[in-house]
A and B are shown apart, each in its own frame.
Chain A
Amino acid sequence: MSGEVQAAAVLGGLTESEELEDRRGPQRPRRRRIGLGDWLLPVYVTLAFIFLLIPIAYTFVFSFNDSLKSNIAWRGFTFDKWLNVCNVEGGAVCEAFGNSIIIGLVSTVVATTLGTMIAIALVRYRFRARSSISLLLFLPMATPEVVLGAGLAAQFLAVGVPKDMLTIILAHTMFCISFVVVTVKARVASLDPALEEAGRDLYGSPREVFWRITFPLLTPGIMAAALLSFALSFDDFIITNFNSGSVTTFPKYIYISASRGIPAEANVIASAVFIVALAIVVIAQVSRAARAKRLAAEMT
């Protein structure tokens, strides 16, 4: 009985889908009217991309502008700014850029190390105030940067710490840790505990199990967290501005010089950073695709 009903249902489903095919088939060439969605979406998408890409294109193009002090009007094409990027204003652009790199690297290393350890502790161990710590780690992400920057500045002043590179690094490390913890935590949580148990079972001491099993398996998450940290630190202006004293970072340099016309050298560095970032993404994607292809080839 039920077998018959099932068979009938399957047959019914088949005929129905065949009918649908038939209906769809001859209809397509007959359709002449162009719907709203057929042109609106492509146009909208094109406009959105143009809007988003114009500032980048502008920055790139004006890095070749043969400008004087201000870089607003087009005055002719030159490679000078790319070749002598550090020669303007006594190398102020390059100094700011170098500062940003140092601050970015140091706070990334510190935040990634601490954040990874916190993430592992939060997922793997049950301890007092664990949930409060989890919650507090979200605060730097949720708090407005102005408040965070001003608050930190006031604290540094109260304690009497002079504002310099160190205070910037401290500030950046603080907000980067939150992002690292969130990123790495997800990776730790998805790690099968049986893998570490297998490591212990196969005579691995706690240290060996961590470095040969846990850490390699967490690496993708840790790398993602480190890249995110560096990008956040390199990019940050508001918190930096409150806590930098006389030290100039790249975003701060651009902000200050914006009032009197940003020099073309800033465009050069910004364009270079953009190109490097783009290159990294492209290389990563291409090598991943190649690896997937190789694995697929080995499987067969």
Chain B
Amino acid sequence: MSIREFAESGADLELVGIQKRFPGFTAIEELDLTIPAGSFFALLGPSGCGKTTTLRLVAGLEEPTAGRILIGGKDVTDTKAHQRPVNTVFQSYALFPHMSIIDNVAFGLKRRRIGDAESKAHEALKLVELDHLAQRRPAQLSGGQQQRVALARAIVNRPALLLLDEPLGALDLKLRRQMQLELKTIQEEVGLTFLHVTHDQEEAMTMADTVAVMNKGAIEQMGAPEELYELPRTAFVANFLGKSNLFTGDVVGTTDTAMTVDAAGHRITIATARAQRHQGLVTVGVRPEKVTLHAEQPDEVAGRNLLGPGRVIDVSFAGVSTEYIVAVPGVATISVFAQNMSFGPVAHEGSEVWLSWDVEHGFGLSDEPDESSRFPADADTQSIAVQRREALLTELEGS
């Protein structure tokens, strides 16, 4: 497809065996990824997991150390950024401060020598409801307006693939929700392929058709948001996407349908089909909102896990729900989300409670939680990258 023409529709993106090394560290270990045309794809991960590097590789702003990048089936690995049918909405918006809004939006069209650039730019500005500010400079606009201009400047080119680099990060919550809806609407309207990079799990889940969770330069798990949430395969995904209660123990019994784990004397059963591993030491988990809180010891019911007694050590009221932290001796502290169906919390700090949940709601992981650090280590690829680069710069500047 020539850069001089508009894309008819979104194109698919294929990354084959991508590796990216910077001097002294590896940002992306080995990445294979296919994004179908017309989809809204989110790359989700903590800062420095390699997601922005992936985006820059696709945009052509970085060159991969190894591997191929294909857009719409065409190998673009060796082409430059300005030759690719791809546009980016930058995290900092990167609006040209010396040009008016309309010149900013028309920039890409004029470079591609597409006729009638001005009126097309006005149309794009109308789409984001900013046409009345066309003659202003970027500095005269608010953050949210600048963000919309950045979006208009990218989509006016009708790229086969639109890259979004945490473009909503700088906006306040209300504006962010509004922009999320607008982005989704625009994507459905124009039918482009969106690749959205974010560290905000809620944003990824509400907007994307498919979410890939990235960690330490590799994709941990990929799938539809509800699939990732209900059936996480690794401890990282279980904890990065929402909260999880995890229990580690040996498998003590397996049938075709159920698997029982002995977690410090407590038996926890999960569906066999929902477990990644079926023998030895395994970690199983359950989401806090799936757990029910009982003030008195309930009867054992088949198909339900029962845990307790435990003691409520913290109650935090969050309006729509209340989070209880329950310490069960010998096992763990377990978090429970309960809808506030009636007024106020149902249990108080210090009260004795029992917990139960449906066997079908549990999930089994393929790895163990990293107990060594409760907080993510700062040794991820990007922060090392930044540190190295800064060290190099100060060294060069200093001499």
Residues of A whose CB lies within 8 Å of any CB of B are 126, 130-132, 134-135, 192, 194-195, 197-205, 208-209, 212-213, 216-217, 295, 298-299
Q: A130-B396, A197-B94, A203-B157 are in contact. List 7 more A-B contacts (CB 8 A).
A: A194-B92, A200-B60, A200-B61, A202-B107, A202-B108, A204-B107, A295-B140
Q: A295 — nearest CB in chain B belongs to which residue? A: B140
**B53 sits at the interface (CB 8 A):** no
Contact A201 B399, CB 8 Å, known A194-B92, A208-B111, A213-B96: no
Give B136's nearest chain A residue, CB to CB.
A298
A-chain residues with CB within 8 Å of residue B153 when the two chains form the complex: 202
| Minimal Cβ-Cβ distance residue in A for B3 | A203
Set A130, A131, A132, A201: member contacting B82, Cβ < 8 A: A201
Let me know if B80 is at the binding interface, CB within 8 A: yes
Whether the pair A203, B140 counts as a contact (CB closer than 8 A) is: no
- Among B113-158, those with CB < 8 Å from A are 136-137, 140, 153, 157
Partner of B399, one of A126, A135, A298: A135
Find chain B residues with CB under 8 A from A192 CB: 92, 94
Q: How large is the interface on B (under 10, 10 to 19, 20 to 34, 35 or more residues)?
A: 20 to 34
Sample of 15 A–B contacts (CB below 8 Å) = A194-B94, A195-B94, A197-B61, A197-B81, A197-B90, A197-B94, A198-B90, A198-B94, A201-B86, A203-B3, A203-B82, A204-B82, A217-B98, A298-B136, A299-B140
Q: Least Cβ distance of A118 to chain B in Å?
A: 15
Closest CB-CB distance, B338 to chain A, in whole Å? 27
Given A195-B96, A198-B96, A201-B59, verify A131-B88 contact (CB < 8 Å).
Answer: no
A195 to B98, CA, bound (A): 11
The 4 closest A-B pairs by CB, nearest first: A202-B108, A131-B399, A198-B94, A203-B111
Interface of B is mostly: loop
From B82, B91, B95, B98, contact of A216 by CB (8 A): B98
Which B residues from 217 to 267 make CB contacts under 8 A with A?
none
Complex Cα gap A295–B138 (Å): 12
The distance in angstroms between the C-alpha atoms of A132 and B81, with both chains bound, is 33
Contact between chains at B61 and A202 (CB < 8 Å): no
Which residues on the B side are within 8 Å of A199 (C-beta)? Answer: 96, 107
Interface residues of B in 141-177 (CB under 8 A from A): 153, 157
B391 to chain A, nearest CB (A): 13
Nearest CB in chain B: distance from A197 CB, A: 5
Per a CB cutoff under 8 Å, which of A134, A198, A295 touches B88? A198
Nearest chain A CB to B163's CB is how many angstroms away? 8
| Complex alpha-carbon distance, A204 and B153, angstroms | 14
Bound Cα distance A205, B80 (Å): 9
A contact residues around B96 at 8 Å (CB): 195, 198-199, 213
The answer to whether residues A204 and B111 also contact, given A195-B96, A198-B96, A299-B140 and a CB cut-off of 8 A, is yes
Q: How far is the CB of B103 from chain A (nearest CB, A)?
A: 10
| Cβ–Cβ < 8 Å partners of A194 in chain B | 90-92, 94
With both chains docked as a complex, state the minimum distance between the C-beta of A18 and any C-beta of chain B, in angstroms. Answer: 35
Segment 74-100 of B: residues with Cβ below 8 Å from A: 80-82, 86-88, 90-92, 94-98
Which residues of B are found within 8 Å of A198, using beta-carbon distances?
88, 90, 94-96
Task: Take A194-B94, A202-B153 as given contacts and tell me if A298 and B140 are in contact as well, using a CB distance cutoff of 8 Å.
Answer: yes
The reply to whether B111 and A201 form a contact with Cβ atoms under 8 Å apart is no
Query: For the complex, is B112 an interface residue (Cβ under 8 Å from A)?
Result: yes
Q: How far is the CA of A298 from the CA of B111 in the complex (A)?
A: 30
Residues from chain A with Cβ under 8 Å of B3 in the complex? 203
Bound complex: CA A205 to CA B3 (Å): 12
Which residue of B is nearest A131, CB measured?
Answer: B399
Q: A197-B61, A197-B81, A198-B94 are in contact. Are A203 and B88 (CB under 8 A)?
A: no
CB-CB under 8 A from A209, the residues of chain B are 82
Q: Which residues of A contact B399 (CB under 8 A)?
A: 131-132, 134-135
Q: How far is the CB of B269 from chain A (nearest CB, A)?
A: 45
A197 to B62, CA, bound (A): 10
- Are the C-beta atoms of B82 and A205 separated by less than 8 Å? yes
Could you say which residues of chain A place their CB within 8 Å of the CB of B95? 198
Which residues of chain B come closer than 8 Å to A197, judged between CB atoms? Answer: 59, 61, 81, 88, 90, 94
Closest chain A residue to B56 by CB distance?
A197
Cα distance, A204 to B104, chains bound together (Å): 12
CB of B2, distance to nearest CB on chain A (Å):
11
Shortest distance between the CB of B124 and any CB in chain A (Å): 13
* A213, B153: Cα distance in complex, Å: 15
Contact call B97/A200, Cβ cutoff below 8 A: no
B158 to chain A, nearest CB (A): 12
Please measure, in the bound complex, the distance between the C-alpha atom of A298 and the C-alpha atom of B139, giving whole angstroms: 12
Q: With the chains together, A216 CA to B80 CA distance in Å? A: 23
C-alpha spacing A208/B96, complex, angstroms: 14
Given A130-B396, A195-B94, decide whether A201 and B87 contact each other with a Cβ distance below 8 A: yes
Chain B residues whose CB sits within 8 angstroms of the CB of A299 once the complex forms? 140
Residue of B nearest to A197 (CB): B61
Could you tell me the distance between the alpha carbons of A205 and B399 in the complex, rounded to whole angstroms? 34
CB pair B92–A200 under 8 Å, yes or no, is no
Neighbouring A residues of B61 by C-beta, 8 Å: 197, 200-201
